[in-house]
């Protein structure tokens, strides 16, 4: 278990993503995946109010509802660390105080709980003052409905500005960011954002930790049959990335671990990462991502060089 910096949240080193719960994974399948995650000591689940409004016939909130029904049926809410998000749901957009308060109540109802452990601003909203947004979070924290707040998809400048405003005005501060980061997609995070996170003493809880499934190794040269659930992974099918998979094969063999576990191990070796996020549609997929592998410095260096 690890403690997320700037908090007392003690979590499993894998944060279980849930953007497919209630969609690509049915409620029953999702419950089985969460059961398997718990059987390995997992306790950290990431969701959002807008999951999965992009599916025909869905309106958002389905993932939260599935997690809520699971926690209620298992009676394990006190054992779990639940993260959810506000600002990108079609019918609850933005970071106004009114919207944050209303969205939080709706998320609490769907999750069948009276508190959220980590509540993200899912995207920035510069039309609303920081005073208003952070004041709303202060109210929710004072009421015991939220424990900590974090930011996703912000610019480095806005993360700095927001945290400075919090410090200057005795308001709750973002304790983490959630940004895209993985072994084959490093440029969007490394550099200014990674430097900002390091300077502020917070951490990244990165999404797409296994690059939409590419880093599981199922996409190989000459393989034409791909998982239709993850066509977006095809963007990663380049010679450079295939070379990374080849190196990962050797490392995986040395650790007797799946490739996905190696990809997540590389992320954990990065100094500003706390717990990477990965999702699973089935229990066998969960078994691929749950093993916690500690890579050697040489292995990290090899993967760094190939993916630079």
Give me the catalytic one of 51, 137, 174, 208. 51
Nearest-angstrom CA–CA distance, 87 and 121: 6
Residue with tokens 């009421």: 143
CA distance 248 to 304: 11
User: What are the residues whose beta carbons fall under 8 Å from the beta carbon of 125, sequence distance 6 or more?
Assistant: 87, 94, 95, 96, 133
Residue spans of beta strands (DSSP E) within the chain = 2-3, 10-11, 15-17, 44-46, 81-86, 88-89, 92-93, 116-121, 146-152, 174-178, 203-204, 277-279
Q: Label residue 40 exposed, middle or buried (CB < 10 Å: 0-12, 13-18, 19+).
A: middle
What gap in Å lies between CA 166 and CA 160, rounded to an integer?
10
> CA–CA separation, 205 vs 209, rounded Å?
9
Residue 34 CA to residue 148 CA, distance in Å, equals 23
- Of 11, 46, 308, 43, nearest in space to 178 by CA: 46
**What are the tokens at 29?**
């399948």
User: Does residue 51 have an active-site annotation?
Assistant: yes
Within 8 A by CB and 6+ apart from 68, the residues are 110, 111, 112, 113
Catalytic site positions: 51
């Amino acid at each position: 278990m690890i403690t997320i910096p700037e908090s007392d949240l003690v979590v499993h080193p894998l944060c279980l993503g849930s953007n497919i719960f209630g969609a690509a994974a049915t409620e029953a399948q999702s419950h089985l995946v969460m059961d398997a995650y718990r059987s390995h000591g997992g306790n950290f689940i990431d969701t959002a109010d807008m999951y999965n409004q992009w599916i025909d016939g869905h309106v958002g909130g389905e993932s939260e509802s599935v997690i809520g029904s699971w926690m209620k049926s298992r009676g394990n809410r006190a054992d779990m660390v639940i993260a959810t998000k506000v600002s990108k749901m079609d019918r609850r957009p933005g970071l106004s105080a009114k919207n944050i308060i209303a969205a939080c109540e709706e998320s609490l109802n769907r999750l069948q709980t009276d508190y959220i452990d980590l509540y993200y601003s899912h995207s920035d909203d510069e039309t609303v003052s920081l005073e208003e947004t952070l004041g709303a979070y202060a109210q929710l924290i004072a009421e015991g409905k939220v424990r900590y707040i974090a930011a996703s998809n912000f610019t480095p400048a806005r993360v700095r500005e927001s945290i400075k405003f919090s410090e200057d005005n005795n308001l709750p501060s973002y304790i983490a960011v959630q940004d895209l980061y993985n072994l084959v997609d490093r440029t969007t995070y490394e550099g200014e954002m990674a430097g900002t996170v390091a300077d502020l003493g917070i951490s990244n809880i990165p999404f797409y930790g296994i690059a939409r499934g590419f880093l599981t190794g199922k996409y190989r040269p000459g393989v034409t049959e791909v998982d239709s659930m993850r066509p977006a992974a095809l963007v990663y099918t380049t010679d450079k990335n295939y070379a990374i998979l080849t190196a990962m094969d050797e490392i995986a063999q040395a650790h007797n671990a799946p490739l996905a576990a190696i990809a997540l191990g590389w992320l954990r070796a990065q100094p500003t990462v706390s717990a990477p996020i990965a999702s699973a549609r089935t229990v066998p997929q969960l078994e691929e991502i749950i093993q916690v592998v500690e890579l050697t410095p040489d292995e990290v260096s090899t993967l760094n060089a190939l993916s630079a």
